[in-house]
Amino acid sequence: KMGRKNILITGGAGFIGSHVVRHFINSYPEYKIINVDALTYAGNLLNLKDIEDRENYTFVKADICDFSEMQNLFRKYEIDSVIHLAAESHVDRSITDPFSFARTNIMGTLNLLQAAREYWNNDFSNKLFYHVSTDEVYGSLEFGEHPFTETTSYDPHSPYSASKASSDHFVRAYRDTYGLPIVISNCSNNYGPYQFPEKLIPLFINNIRHNKPLPVYGKGENVRDWLYVEDHAKAIDVIFHKGKRGDTYNIGGLNEWKNIDLIHQVVKVCDKLLGRAEGESEKLITYVTDRAGHDLRYAIDATKLTSELGWKPSLQFEEGLEKTVRWYLDNQDWLDHVTSGEYMNYYKQMYGE
């Protein structure tokens, strides 16, 4: 049916990447999946324990910024498709260390584009370079403004979103200049199992479990559109197979939440599952200095994806959030593992104590 493919998935040991790898391994046993990941602080092979022994799976530890290593990988595994997720992904880290974002997100993407172009050598049949990007490239919306569409102008504000915007432009430049078959998707905020506890939802679950303050930036009025990570993986599958080559697709949850309302929701579910009195952990909520350049609102208009390719989010948010909190509480070993060592330095630098 689909035929055989040798797919290079970058960043497969990270949060979204691990769900994409698992989804493809389980759904397409006839594909070979080569996961390349540098295993930075955000990458963790524990995220893939359940599939690491599969015959159609290979892990390679490498840095996408190493060009000759990327050239070797294309040749060795006869790569015909790329799903590129490897990136520095946390906005707050981009504020303190913008260079590592330019390095991995811009130069790393450029390396992969060039390695693909060289290896495919103008034979583009059945080839695809799929670039996974973010809604943050579109900037920030006012309340009441229409959600981002695929034609919204780019207007990034953080070093993170500037680096992702730049990488998107390079991908389109390779399409227009060299004819590289590409597709890009720009997705809203993901949540779910295996997300590193620097991001809002797992950070707050982890802090509630330790009775630590819950740092709300500014007034907590910023709005994000939340999508369950497995629904993102399914959208990537649909776009990978059926998306129009050269095109961009927005992916979103149709699920906007003001941070403070979301936080009350997280507290409620945590208290319930931890057997605490209702509202007990509300007292941990602490307002702190706002993030510099904090975008007010993100929201995605996913009409193109839903109408052309028939994808839609499958999980209700209440269901997805409870599933997520349950996963973190059932996997406290994972949380303890990823929050040991370097994490404490990061935490001190960000939030004090």
82 lines the binding site for ligand NAD (CB under 6 A)? no
Work out the number of other CB atoms within 10 angstroms of the CB of residue 150.
Answer: 18
Among the options 63, 80, 88, 136, which is catalytic?
Answer: 136
317 lines the binding site for ligand NAD (CB under 6 A)? no
- Residue 61: name the closest of 78, 92, 83, 36 by CA: 36
225 lines the binding site for ligand NAD (CB under 6 A)? no
Contact 345, 41 (CB under 8 A): no
86 lines the binding site for ligand NAD (CB under 6 A)? yes
262 lines the binding site for ligand NAD (CB under 6 A)? no
Site residues (CB under 6 A) for ligand DAU?
89-91, 134-136, 188-189, 199-200, 203, 215-217, 222, 224, 259, 291, 298
Nearest approach, Cβ of residue 211 and ligand NAD (Å): 26
Q: Which residue, chain included where needed, has tokens 């520095």?
A: 88
In the complex with ligand NAD, which residue's Cβ is closer, 23 or 276? 23
Does an H or E element contain 131, and which? Answer: strand 128-134
Looking at 133-222, list the stretches that DSSP marks H as alpha helix, in order from N- to C-terminal side: 159-178, 200-209
Contact 34, 56 (CB under 8 A): no
C-alpha 21/C-alpha 51 separation (Å) is: 9
Concerning whether 136 is annotated as a catalytic residue, the answer is yes
Helix (H, G, I), strand (E, B) or coil at 107: helix
- Could you give the string, one character per residue 158-197, with x where binding to ligand NAD holds by CB under 6 A and - elsewhere? ------x----------------------x-xx-----x-
Among the options 37, 88, 135, 225, which is catalytic?
Answer: 135
Among the options 28, 160, 174, 191, which is catalytic?
Answer: 160
- The structure tokens listed for 300 are 């995605």
- Residue 298 interface partner, choices ligand DAU, ligand NAD, none, CB cut-off 5-8 Å depending on type: ligand DAU
Nearest approach, Cβ of residue 311 and ligand DAU (Å): 18
C-alpha 291/C-alpha 162 separation (Å) is: 16
In the complex with ligand NAD, which residue's Cβ is closer, 37 or 150? 37
- Residue 146: name the closest of 298, 264, 10 by CA: 298
**Full DSSP string of 285-304:** EEEEPPPTT---B--B--HH
Nearest approach, Cβ of residue 125 and ligand NAD (Å): 27
63 lines the binding site for ligand NAD (CB under 6 A)? yes
Find all residues with CB under 8 Å of 316, minimum gap 6, and list them: none
Nearest approach, Cβ of residue 4 and ligand NAD (Å): 25
Nearest approach, Cβ of residue 71 and ligand NAD (Å): 15
Concerning whether 135 is annotated as a catalytic residue, the answer is yes
**Residue 80 one-letter amino acid:** D
Nearest approach, Cβ of residue 79 and ligand NAD (Å): 15
Work out the number of other CB atoms within 10 angstroms of the CB of residue 265.
Answer: 17
Q: In this chain, which of 33, 34, 73, 87 binds ligand NAD, going by CB under 6 A?
A: 87
203-223 per-residue burial string, b: 16 or more CB within 10 A, e: under 16: bbbbbbbeebebbbbeebebb
**Residue 139 one-letter amino acid:** G
Find the residue with minimal CB distance to ligand NAD: 14
Catalytic residues: 135-136, 160
Binding site for ligand NAD (CB under 6 A): 11, 13-17, 37-40, 42-43, 63-65, 85-89, 104, 108, 132, 134, 164, 187, 189-190, 196
